[in-house]
Every structure is written in C-alpha cells, then in structure tokens.
Structure 1
C-alpha cells in the first residue's frame, strides 16, 4: 500500500482563525488523524516578540485536540513563520498523509517529520544544535522513505531562540552563544541550516565549528528553510522530497536564488510544470500550482548586484522584514498569487543575500 501527500492551502483572517481548516474537516475533505504538518504564515513582526506564532499554534491545538487521538497532536509538526510584509497573505498549508491502493508510479511528494529533544540554552546557535538537527533530518527522511539525499527538495525547521530568562538559567552571558536575543534567532536558524547541510552531504563535518556559525557564509544548504521562535525549546523538522514509495499527483522541485532579485532561478522552477510560463504563471499553470516556499535575506555586503541597499541600516524595521516584503513581491509577480510561504532570515540557507526556493505542483 502506497502513501499519498495531500496539501490544502487555506486563507486565515488572523493567527487564531482556523475556520477554513475546520470547515474542510467538517466536509470530510481533511482527516484530522491524517495531518502530518501545518505550516503557517502569520502577520506578526517575525522577531523575538512575535507572539502570533505561538497564538496560531495554540489555536490549532485547541481546535484539533477533540478531533485526534490522545498524543497525536505532538506528532503533528506545526511551524509558524511570522511576517507577511508587503502584499504577502497570511495562510495555512496543511499536509496530510493518506494510505492509498493506487499503483506505484513516478516518484511523488513524500513527507517525514521529526523532533529533537529540548535544547539547553548553551546549545542554541552552536554545533550541538546542528548535530541534533542533522539527526532529526535523517530520522524524518527515513520516515518519509527517502534514502537518496538528492531526492530531498526542502527541509523546514522551527527552532528555539534565547530569551533573558533562558540566558539566566544557562548561568549567565558567558554560557551562551550571544546575549542579543535577536542575534540568537539568526544563530539558531544558521545552526539548524548547517545541520541540514550535514545530513544532506552539502558540507563536510570537519568544516563546522561554533565560530563558523553566523560568520562563514561560504557554508550553506540549498534546501534548508529555518525559522526561529520563542514558542518552543526543541527543533521541529519536516522533510519534503520525492519517493517511489509514495503515490499521487503532487511533485516538488527546488532551486537556489543567488540574490534577492534572482527571478530566473524561480522562473526555471515554474516553467518546469507550466510550459506556457512567460513572465507569470499561465492560467493552466496556476491551476496546477500548489505552493511556493522560499527564504529571503538582506546581503551582509549591503549591496545587490553592486547597488547599495539600506535594509541593514534601518533601526526602525528589521532587515528580515524588508527582505520578506521585497522578495515576496518578486515571487508574487512570477506566480500570480500572494499566498506564498516566504520566510526571512536566511543565514546559511543559500548564498549570502539569496536563498532556497521550492515549488510544489499537481501533475495531470
């Protein structure tokens, strides 16, 4: 018996709005027990104090708890990415795993999830975190039935960050990687990304040191998407790839944007399933389009193709917020939709100033 992934892209009016999910459950279009992961774009600031992420998770758990067996909620990966700057639209991506009698066909979209243990504050942003994410990525791959790392196209991680309370519990400033709470977000994302890179063979173990995290931008993964939040202490990992043990019409492919305006890298992905693609998905292409997941980051050089940008110089708005809105606008123009999972903060996720991008579509 094969497995099949189904994805539902649903709008939300706020981080507490799970009505679209419940409506589909009520119509029998989503089986609560089949849900493996829920990704959400929420409209907070995406920074340390973005409580829309925790609010969304709490709302999901409250809604689903009466509908699933005891303990099942802990097996659903709930990854909330804060920040819908510009024209990006808040939305949910609900992933189901369905058993099917369909005959085996071409490799189809597969999903596997795993969680690390809770991280000690001293481990956040360091090699210890990368090692834990490496192990969880391999575990999620095994669960998805993906043996070949080349068949992995996207790995989503939700990871913790440091707070003043966590620093105090660790024994003070000397015990942790940084005392800057917002910097800890970047270090945690970066350590998680490099853990994915280790698992997928994109970097060698000997090059990874605590000092390299958040500093050596030559080290990166082309398939990592990592988001940090105050609402958890462990790392949640969801692997998406292709496997011939899975059936169904969904497919996935990935590319890497070299910088924040690398539209051709994304256009190549879209043209892969929309032969009529020109400057934007055709009507037929939009019918087949399911989701686009991308990372966005302001280059540390302060330039984009030699021209100066000011994202790093703004003391009012975090550069991650600028980057999400900027890259999100470009991607919306290419896809013809604003319901895009664009995540800011791409430390070690793609080259400096660029970022990985994955497209999911429906064959046939």
Structure 2
C-alpha cells in the first residue's frame, strides 16, 4: 500500500421503498457522504428474496442512477451493489453504505482498523452456475478484493459478501441452444447452488478448504464443507459476482473494527455476544452494523426441538429463517436494521451461519 492511510465510514440509512434514496441524498447534501468515496452499497429490500424478487433489480437500478449522476458512468460501474431481498418479520429495509476516505480519519489502533476491498468478476455462463467454474471465478474475485483492501493475510479477513447470479428459464434455454446443460432445471434450486458454489470459492480463497477436498458434485450436497466467513446472496439482476471483503489492517485508520462469529444454530446468541465482547462493546455501545446468514436446519430440529420451516408449503424456509434469526439478532443489537441474508449453503454449519459485527471503538 501507499503511505496514505485510508479509513472507512459506514452509513446505515433507512429506506421507505426499493427506490427511496432520500436518505442518501440528504447525506450528500450535508457533506456527510462523499459519493466519490463509495465502494459498496448493501441493501435489504422488501421482496420475497426468491427468483422473481424484482425489488433487488429495482433498487440496483435506482442506486446505479444515483451514482452515475454524481460520479460518472465509469466510476459508478465499479461500485459493488449487493441487494438482499426479504425483510420478513420486523427486519427493516435499509441501505448500508461503505465509504473509503483516502486520508484516514482518527487514531491508529494496535490491531488495525476496518479495511474494505471490492471486486466485480466477469459474467459467468448459465452452465457455469453451481459448478467448479463458478467457484474459481469467485476465488479469484476474493483475492482481487483483498488486494484492493491492502489485506495480505487471509487471517485478517473477517467477512466476504458476494452477490451471485441465478438461473432463469430463458438462461437455461440459451445454454441448451449452445449444446450446454445447466446444473439444475429448477430455477429456485439454482439460487442455492449458486450461493453454495460462491461460498466454496470464498473458502478456497481464504484457505479454509483445500481444492483437492472439493468435488463439483459436493456443491449443495456435502454440507460438511463450509466457510466460516462467507455470505452469499443470489439474484436475477446480474450474471457476474459483486464482492465485498471486510477485514482488519494496520494500514487503515479510524475507530471502526470488524469481528466475526459462527452461529452453530439459529438461536446461538452466545456466539454473537462473544464477538461483541471481543470487540470491546459487550453492551452493544458503539454498534454500527451486523451482517448475518440465516438457514433452516435440514434436520428439522433446533437443539432437539422440532421446527416446521422446511415443511411449510406456503412460505419458503428461507423466509422463515430470515425472520427468526433477524428477531434474535435484533434483540441483541437493539435495532431491526440488520443485513440478514437467507440461504446459507456451505456458509457455516447446517442451521447456523457466519455473522460479522462492525463497531466503533473509543481511542485509549
């Protein structure tokens, strides 16, 4: 890295609709947010989170227009936009804006400060989704995002958020016209395969798993293979991957820090509390943001008690899990503006999932 020490600002902004950017516009107008420094925007939108959730594309389009008007087409194209559909229960639609300030604000901390890096991969072909080719694309993208953040050790990475594509009927037909078959013909199931392959790509990039241990046939099947720091979300609005790496670096300045935990199941509040304690804010003071995965256990049990999420033919288990885990985490953090993403294939143990917590520390 250069001698300049960057720092990170995070803006958590409520949204009244998938195209409501009034909160962002106010931040820009008051000088609290410099659009030229935006590296990524994560959004929770109030759709169903399934294949036909166009709130994600609607939000992406609105944000892209917002950015192009302020920083130009070329720079706007580099901003990672990760829209996660589904705000079941009391989860609140909101934007989470990651801004890089080139001349770092605040003190230097002995263990470093929050460092952020992004990358956008090439578009994949429909027949690559859920397969080894997708894993390799994501692995390379994570390495690129780490380099952009100036993070040299995988041990300093605490969370990797990826937006990945899914299959539609049209995409499956296009592949067939070229003589190619896709991993699955069920478009809803393609979301899980895409999330899973992306998560395994993250695990490879971070050295959590060895390539020799991962066979293409394991994607979506062998849930003993997982990353402890991956969060992936599939959507119809793209064919590439948008990647955000969150870590710690002594090359960055400022009071923000990130830590991660792995919930062993959907009610593992203790793991998140331990993460907060490790960051020095056990009572939640200084809390800035939380990102988490939610998944209904395939066993149909939570600590020996039966759940019915997988047996509900009316509502997807993914939607149940977001609401359930979101409520538990809201009780810990004191806010419903949480980035809880459903579908945790190869992301933490079955029924659990990785969590990242970002806090603001006081200089000693």
Whether 1:217 and 2:223 are equivalent positions in the alignment is yes
The yes-or-no answer on 1:179 pairing with 2:185 is yes
What residue number does 2:267 align with?
A: 261
What is the CA distance between 1:101 and its match in structure 2?
A: 5.4
Instruction: Assess, with a 3 A threshold, how the Cα gap between structure 1 residues 248 and 178 changes in structure 2: closer, same or farther.
Output: same
Mapped partners of 1:61, 1:128: distance in 2:
28
Alpha-carbon deviation of 1:105? 3.8
The aligned residue for residue 87 of structure 1 is 90
Distance 1:261 1:94 in 2: 28
Shift of residue 104 of structure 1?
Answer: 4.4
Shift, 1:142, TM fit: 0.6
| Counterpart Cα distance in 2 of 1:123 and 1:114 | 19
- Measure how far apart 1:272 and its partner are: 2.8
Are 1:246 and 2:249 an aligned pair? no
Q: Secondary structure at the match of 2:6?
A: strand
Question: What's 2:56 paired with?
Answer: 53
Matches within 5 A, 1:21-100: 21-100=24-103
Alignment correspondent of 1:13: 16
Unaligned ranges ≥5, structure 2: none
1:310 corresponds to 2:308: yes
Q: 1:304 to 1:105 in 2, by over 3 A?
A: closer
Whole-Å separation in 2 of the counterparts to 1:125 and 1:232: 15
What's the CA shift for 1:70?
A: 3.3
In 2, Cα distance between equivalents of 1:336 and 1:139: 35
Contact 2:130 2:219 survives alignment (8 Å): yes
User: How far apart are 1:275 and its partner, in Å?
Assistant: 5.2
CA contact 1:2–1:104 (8 Å) conserved in 2: no
Query: In 2, distance between residues paired with 1:259 and 1:330?
Result: 12
- 2:122 is equivalent to residue 117 of structure 1: yes
Choose which of 206, 218, 226 in structure 1 pairs with 2:232: 226
Select which of 181, 188, 208 maps to 1:202.
208
- CA RMSD, Structure 1 to Structure 2 (Å): 1.3
Separation in 2, partners of 1:104, 1:349:
32
Equivalent in the alignment of 1:340: 338
Out of 156-165 and 264-273, give the one that drifted further.
264-273
Matches within 5 A, 1:115-154: 115-154=120-159
Distance 1:349 1:143 in 2: 24
Q: Is the 8 A contact 1:122 1:176 kept in 2?
A: yes
Query: Quick one: distance in 2 between partners of 1:47 and 1:100?
Result: 41
Q: Is the 8 A contact 1:193 1:220 kept in 2?
A: yes
TM-score, normalization: structure 2? Answer: 0.95
Contact 1:33–1:69 (CA under 8 A) maintained in structure 2: no
2:190 counterpart of 1:192? no
Q: Deviations over 1:17-44 (max 9, x none)?
A: 0110011001111111110000000010
Query: CA–CA distance in 1 between the matches of 2:104 and 2:124?
Result: 40
Q: Is the 8 A contact 2:290 2:355 kept in 1?
A: yes
Correspondence 1:156 to 2:154: no
Question: Residues 201, 39 of structure 1: CA spacing in aligned structure 2 closer, same or farther, 3 A cutoff?
Answer: same
TM-score by structure 1 length?
0.95
Runs of at least 5 residues in structure 1 that lack an aligned partner in the other structure: none
Q: Is the 8 A contact 1:137 1:237 kept in 2?
A: yes
Match of 2:172 in 1: 167
Offset, 1:115 = 1.3
Structure 2: distance between partners of 1:64 and 1:89:
23
What CA deviation, in whole Å up to 9, does each residue of 1:285-311 have, x standing for no partner?
Answer: 1xx110010000011111111211111
8 Å Cα contact 2:259/2:279 also seen in 1: no
